[in-house]
Amino acid sequence: MILLKDSVFLLLNRSERQLDEVVIALVGKYTALEDAYASVLKALNHAALFCNRKLKIRFVDSTDLEENTKKEDPVKYHEAWQQLCSAHGVIVPGGFGSRGIEGKIAAIEWARKQSKPFLGICLGLQCAAIEFARHVLNYHDATSSEFDTTNHQVIIEMPEHNTGNMGGTMRLGRRTTHFVTDDSIIKKLYGNVDSIDERHRHRYEVNPRYIEEFEKAGMKFVGKSDDNQRMEILELDNHPYFVGVQYHPEYISRPLKPSAPYLGLIWAACGELKNVLMHVTKEQMATTDSTRKSSGTFSHKNLFRHT
């Protein structure tokens, strides 16, 4: 009971001290129904609370960012881009289907070129890979097999996926992701552990055929599955924070243990991530091995002094 009271007091105290605002543009296709992103919003709020920031979400319908909208409703198009461009950070969450995909890719291209903090979740990671393939690798027809058939399908369906079986062949539940390099922002945010367990819910993934080309051009896949064939985490070289994860870290985010990828996005959007990572040592980030590996999160008790 004492620990519970202490936790409640800590949350209330930090909530009352939130002064500065951080604005995050959520670019999705279900923005008319905000509850569709309930877990994502909670994870963003957990991270903002931890960073002593008042969170403001701007819901940007990805279809409003597309060229068709520019022709049919230029006012809506320019308003959507103004909402995106004036935000401090961008998140592209998960989803299914081809509608709004080009708007998501356009938003990701802008975030990449403008060095705007970006986090892609599940489909968001896949769109980031497609955008990079099109505009950096110059595979202009790059896409996902979920959307179309082209010469460069950088996103493919999983080998165990059977078309027509919507739920039974998804990659579901907690799976282990192994970090394959120490030179990783996201690994540091997780506390420099060797592996993490996070929850998955997807049918499509990055095509291993293109990994070497991606990495030579600066998109690094820093986290992989047990068999080293599934790309779980991507980061972009020479960018303040450009991260994509194939899993859904929001599912196990908690007020006192915010999700590491979400925390990184908020810190980067506040302009503090570099400073935080400079001051936090492995010992400060670490909790017990058993707690870290079972939760997929890390202890924040030594980070409060830096925020």
What is the arithmetic mean of pLDDT over 265-275?
A: 94
Average pLDDT of the residues in 181-186: 94
Q: Radius of gyration (Cα) for the chain, nearest Å?
A: 19
Whether residue 301 lies inside any domain: the answer is no
Q: Is 203 part of a structural domain of the chain?
A: yes
Q: Which of 202, 239, 250, 270 is catalytic?
A: 250
Identify the CA nearest to 91 among candidates 303, 207, 297, 259. 259
Q: Is 299 inside any structural domain?
A: no
From the list 46, 51, 122, 200, the catalytic residue is 122
250 labelled catalytic = yes
CATH of the domain at 137: 3.40.50.880
pLDDT of residue 8: 45
Distance of CA 256 to the CA centre of its chain: 19
Q: Is the pLDDT assigned to residue 152 strictly greater than 60?
A: yes
Q: Is 297 domain-assigned? A: no
- What is the average pLDDT score of the chain? 84
Question: Residue 197: is its pLDDT beyond 60?
Answer: yes
Report if residue 2 sits inside a domain: no
Model confidence, pTM: 0.84
163, 155 Cβ separation under 8 angstroms: no
Nearest to 265 by CA among 42, 51, 36: 51
Contact at 8 Å (CB) between 266 and 233? no
Q: Which of 21-35, 111-125, 176-190, 260-274 has the lowest mean pLDDT?
A: 21-35
The contacts of residue 82 (CB under 8 Å, 6+ apart) are none
What pLDDT was estimated at residue 14? 55
Predicted pLDDT of residue 302:
44
Q: How many domains does the chain have?
A: 1
Q: How far apart are CA 74 and CA 95, in angstroms?
A: 26
Query: Is residue 246 within 8 Å of 122, Cβ to Cβ?
Result: yes
Let me know if residue 208 belongs to a domain.
Answer: yes
In a domain, 59, yes or no: yes
Would the pLDDT of 245 be above 80? yes
| Partners of residue 23 on adjacent β-strands | 56
- In sequence order, the β-bridge partners of residue 221 are 234
Q: What is the mean pLDDT of residues 45-68?
A: 95
Residue 190 has a pLDDT of: 92
What is the domain extent for residue 82?
8-292
Active-site annotation holder among 88, 202, 239, 248: 248
Q: Where are the alpha helices (DSSP H) in the chain?
A: 2-16, 38-50, 67-72, 74-85, 101-113, 123-135, 185-189, 211-216, 260-269, 273-279, 282-285, 289-295
Could you tell me if residue 288 is inside a domain? yes
Look up 248 and say whether it is catalytic: yes
